[in-house]
Structure 1
């Protein structure tokens, strides 16, 4: 097991060599994932592991992929997507153009879910969905629009539970165990690497979704990310977080009102 002082050395070197700042990540979660990688790849000493991270960029990319959490699915939490469909998208429809940011988009399942909602509301043509993540490997998967065919039954059930009425299979082509989603959806997406720790705002958005990312940050980093979202969100825009995340007790709380019990807040001033 890696000791705390070794973990701090790793964090310092990652920042020095690659510019990634993990100092604000939940220490217990970060340590657990680094320990898992260390054991899985059979290192016999911490200096050996640290040297590999320093000099081997390909291995560093593997480490990023292993320690950043990429658990997602289409129409995850159907009740959340029902609120998007029935309450938020009709408001967005009144705008001449819709800008959406999926921060920490992982492999893109939730991005495609949003695109499907917009298409069914006849709004996809006047929308642009920015999808960002720190991990370039998961962004490549998201760009491809290719997902395991075995997951389509679950995704279809989620879609129906979220109020979907179309045949979900109309949105993809099945072949050799994979499902390739329509390019009509991906044409309205922009994928880019973005670090919530160090990068700045890059546009003004009507809705920002960052679900199940902040739970892996400590309080200071959560506040920094929320400030970034606030800077990036238009007045009367919406911020959507994960089921265990909140803006309560943050400095921006008074500027927002929560939609019922959902983890969605409207920026009122």
Structure 2
């Protein structure tokens, strides 16, 4: 490693430490390669020459925090992303959930709300929405505001609609939104059973007993220890025989919590909490 790269790595670690000490956002155990890539983008787009200068601004200018979080938290998603995942929930998980008088679903790392609205629509189509409470959590306040607003660019709807169809959708996606001025606004009734909350998988604890947790494409940005912490949190949050959904590139295989789960739909990374 070049001397300049070593200095940059030191600067990044100091910047992440400052972010934690000042604002209590903890990115110190995120995968270094991913964090470094995102911080380089931030440095360039925000006009800083060094990470040390970014740290100075972060410590002294409160307006820097939301800008930093915009780069450090991943906000790339789509409705019914990986339609076969949602089809598996519809066909395999929902029949089990029907046996509960009330249901709690946690979308961890909800980003702009695409996965949240996908699950609420799915549950409405399956007749489970009324007895379900959805928790949509993220560490980024701006992402939570976006999710709560339920507004998306019109040019994204063709993909969303096709994904919904392929996921086994029982209605038209257009039944759930209104379009105007290049935007679509999803029906506010989709949010009537949703709790939006700031929650960190790095530092926060269990807050309710869940029947389904969907946390997709979040763990890939964590190092091994932090992945284990998050998976332990999910294990402790799930009711017996509850379900956990992960992203296509994520797995329980090497986690110390793997023994608490069994494969439910292996190819879709859907797991079931053991009942013993």
Please give the range of the TM-score, normalised by the shorter of the 2 chains: over 0.9
The CA deviation at 1:48 is 2.5
SS at match of 1:190: strand
Which residue of the other structure, out of 100, 106, 126, is the alignment partner of 2:131? 126
- The answer to whether 1:181 aligns with 2:186 is yes
Match of 1:88 in 2: 93
Contact 2:11 2:52 in 1 (8 A): no
Contact 2:209 2:237 in 1 (8 A): yes
Please list the CA deviations of residues 136-180 of structure 1 after superposition, one character each: whole Å capped at 9, or x if unmatched. Answer: 101000001111111111100000001113121011011111111
- The answer to whether 1:59 aligns with 2:64 is yes
Q: Across the two proteins, how many residue pairs are aligned to each other?
A: 269
How far apart in 1 are the matches of 2:147 and 2:205? 22
Which residue of the other structure, out of 234, 237, 260, is the alignment partner of 1:232? 237
Contact 2:12 2:51 in 1 (8 A): no
Match of 2:254 in 1: 249
Matches within 5 A, 1:146-161: 146-161=151-166
TM-score normalised to structure 1 length = 0.97
Contact 2:125 2:170 in 1 (8 A): no
How far apart in 1 are the matches of 2:180 and 2:263? 42
- The answer to whether 1:263 aligns with 2:269 is yes
Match of 2:47 in 1: 42
The CA deviation at 1:265 is 0.4
Runs (4+) of structure 1 exceeding 6 A deviation are none
How far apart in 1 are the matches of 2:216 and 2:24? 24
Contact 2:57 2:64 in 1 (8 A): yes
Please list the CA deviations of residues 166-208 of structure 1 after superposition, one character each: whole Å capped at 9, or x if unmatched. Answer: 1210110111111111111111111011111000110000010
The CA deviation at 1:254 is 1.7
The CA deviation at 1:256 is 1.2
- The answer to whether 1:164 aligns with 2:173 is no
TM-score normalised to structure 2 length = 0.95
- The answer to whether 1:105 aligns with 2:110 is yes
SS at match of 2:104: strand
The CA deviation at 1:45 is 3.7
SS at match of 2:204: coil
Deviates more, 1:33-42 or 1:235-244: 33-42
Please provide the CA RMSD for this pair.
1.2
- The answer to whether 1:212 aligns with 2:217 is yes
Contact 2:106 2:134 in 1 (8 A): yes
How far apart in 1 are the matches of 2:29 and 2:52? 23
- The answer to whether 1:197 aligns with 2:176 is no
How far apart in 2 are the matches of 1:165 and 1:234? 28
The CA deviation at 1:92 is 0.5
The CA deviation at 1:248 is 0.9
How far apart in 2 are the matches of 1:91 and 1:209? 16
How far apart in 2 are the matches of 1:93 and 1:45? 55
SS at match of 1:199: coil
Match of 1:140 in 2: 145
